[in-house]
Amino acid sequence: MKKDLKNAKTKLAKEIDNLSDEMREIANSIFDNPETCYTENFAASLLTSKLKERGFAVESPYLGLSTAFIAKNAKIIKSKPIIAILAEYDALPGIGHACGHNLIAASAFGAAVALKNVLHPELGNVVTIGTPAEEGGGGKIKMIRRGAFSDIDAAIMIHPSNKTRIISRMYAITELKFTFIGKAAHAAAFPEQGINALDAGVLCYNSISSLRQQIRGNSRVHGIFTYGGDAPNIIPDRIEMHYFVRDLDKKHSEELLKRIKQCAKGAAKATGCKVKIKTCGNSYDPFYPSYPMGEAFADNLAILGIADGGFSETTEIGSSDIGNLSQVVPTLHPEYAVGDKEDINHSRNFLAAVKTQSGHKAMLEMTKAMAMTVYDLLTNHALLKRTKDNFNQSTH
Ligand SMILES: [Zn+2]
Ligand SMILES: [Zn+2]
């Protein structure tokens, strides 16, 4: 490694060590004030005021979203690349910060400040983008549609997890609601006059369960009955079901959706019911990680003496709006362990792990690797070119 680059990376790591207390304070304050989906007022105002104190040019609300923001390290130089560091800070309903987004916010702050202090502004632009409502609200999807990422060359964020892994894939997800409509009748006196919507729902459920034997290993289909009738002596004239359909591949996801819908239509036909099929919630695209960015991140972890954990198995993943972002901009979303392997996101144990000293230390080290990777992207033109070429080849 060239001496200048080595010096810059050493400085970045030192800056982040110096920010450790402030980052812990940010993480803990957001942890103690959990806010869900689009109501992250405390977190957004804490982060934006801290960034303003450090001399960032901050815009918040951003693009009409009251809890989104953008913070620029310096005046944007159009001829230079722009790298985005993403901050999530929403909590889960009920359980709070059991996905550790409070740590994501603190790491974005730490990396942004360290880069502002070390990177010569003429080398390139770093923007920190606050993206609300990852947990079900699809904040990044709205922000993509409103042009938040149209000038961005690459985006990065780090996420606490049960394992450390730089590269992982995530499922595309589509939510479907089925409503079967039949005809109510007295279940004992006039059964022949009824059209049983619950039977249609059960047939639909079983058809999808059978279909599951014939779908790709990279697909997941899971659903529940959300309404199944009012009383055993009334033939149900309406029932409702809610399904998640997931696939690692966007094209296959569309094919799978067609087959799932056929199961519902077939069940309606068999029972004489009608079925309404509605797409609801947010449809998340599959996440395609940037491999060149991942390699740079791995090199930086090696400098810090951390093993990267490699490629994740597809059985251990969910879906996120970062998937949609990865379809429009080269994106990296490394994960890092904050507790035991068994302590998985959204659990009570994970909630506890997020607040530990060891969790904080892991966040600090990964923040260093993130800042170093942003520095690489801005100063190593061959890396940025490789990142863009790989993105153009691997997505549409
Ligand atoms: Zn989560
Ligand atoms: Zn999360």
> What is the reported pLDDT for 315?
55
Based on the fold, state whether residues 156 and 14 are members of the same structural domain.
yes
Q: How confident is the model at residue 311 (pLDDT cuts 50, 70, 90)?
A: low
Peptide bond connecting 61 to the previous residue in cis, omega within 30 degrees of 0 = yes
Across the range 294-304, mean pLDDT stands at 94
> Near ion ligand 1, which residues have CB within 5 Å?
99
The ligand with the least distance to the CA atom of 100 is 2
- Among 2-6, 48-52, 139-143, which stretch is predicted with the lowest mean pLDDT? 2-6
Q: How far, in Å, is the centroid of ligand 2 from the Cα of 101?
A: 6
Q: How far, in Å, is the centroid of ligand 1 from the Cα of 30?
A: 15
pLDDT at 312 over 90: no
Q: How far, in Å, is the centroid of ligand 2 from the Cα of 100?
A: 7
Based on the fold, state whether residues 36 and 157 are members of the same structural domain.
yes
Based on the fold, state whether residues 52 and 201 are members of the same structural domain.
no
The ligand with the least distance to the CA atom of 95 is 1
Q: Residues 135, 92: contact at Cβ < 8 Å?
A: yes
Based on the fold, state whether residues 148 and 88 are members of the same structural domain.
yes
Start-to-end CA span in the chain (Å): 34
Closest of 169, 161, 111, 106 to residue 336, by C-alpha: 161
Last residue of a domain, one of 249, 269, 284: 284
Q: How far, in Å, is the centroid of ligand 2 from the Cα of 335?
A: 10
Based on the fold, state whether residues 122 and 153 are members of the same structural domain.
yes
Number of structural domains (the chain) is: 2
The ligand with the least distance to the CA atom of 86 is 2
Q: How confident is the model at residue 364 (pLDDT cuts 50, 70, 90)?
A: very high
CATH code of the domain containing 305: 3.40.630.10
Across the range 252-265, mean pLDDT stands at 96
> What is the reported pLDDT for 9?
97
Please give the model's pTM, rounded to 2 decimal places.
0.89
Based on the fold, state whether residues 14 and 152 are members of the same structural domain.
yes
CATH code of the domain containing 234: 3.30.70.360
Across the range 282-293, mean pLDDT stands at 92
Based on the fold, state whether residues 188 and 163 are members of the same structural domain.
no
Based on the fold, state whether residues 113 and 231 are members of the same structural domain.
no
The ligand with the least distance to the CA atom of 346 is 1
Last residue of a domain, one of 233, 251, 284: 284
Based on the fold, state whether residues 343 and 278 are members of the same structural domain.
no
| Distance between CA atoms of residues 70 and 56, nearest Å | 9
Based on the fold, state whether residues 148 and 293 are members of the same structural domain.
yes
pLDDT at 307 over 80: no
Q: How far, in Å, is the centroid of ligand 2 from the Cα of 156?
A: 14
- Among 213-217, 270-274, 374-378, 392-396, which stretch is predicted with the lowest mean pLDDT? 392-396
Q: How confident is the model at residue 309 (pLDDT cuts 50, 70, 90)?
A: low
Neighbour-count burial for 291-310, b at 16+ CB within 10 Å, e otherwise:
bbbbbbbbbbbebeebebbe
Q: Which domain holds residue 136?
A: 3-170+287-394
Last residue of a domain, one of 284, 315, 331: 284
Q: How far, in Å, is the centroid of ligand 2 from the Cα of 236?
A: 39
| Distance between CA atoms of residues 271 and 287, nearest Å | 39
Based on the fold, state whether residues 188 and 74 are members of the same structural domain.
no
Q: How many helices and strands, by DSSP H and E, does the chain display?
A: 12, 12
Closest of 141, 146, 127, 133 to residue 73, by C-alpha: 127
Q: What is the mean pLDDT of the chain?
A: 94
Across the range 194-223, mean pLDDT stands at 96
Based on the fold, state whether residues 362 and 349 are members of the same structural domain.
yes
Across the range 9-14, mean pLDDT stands at 98
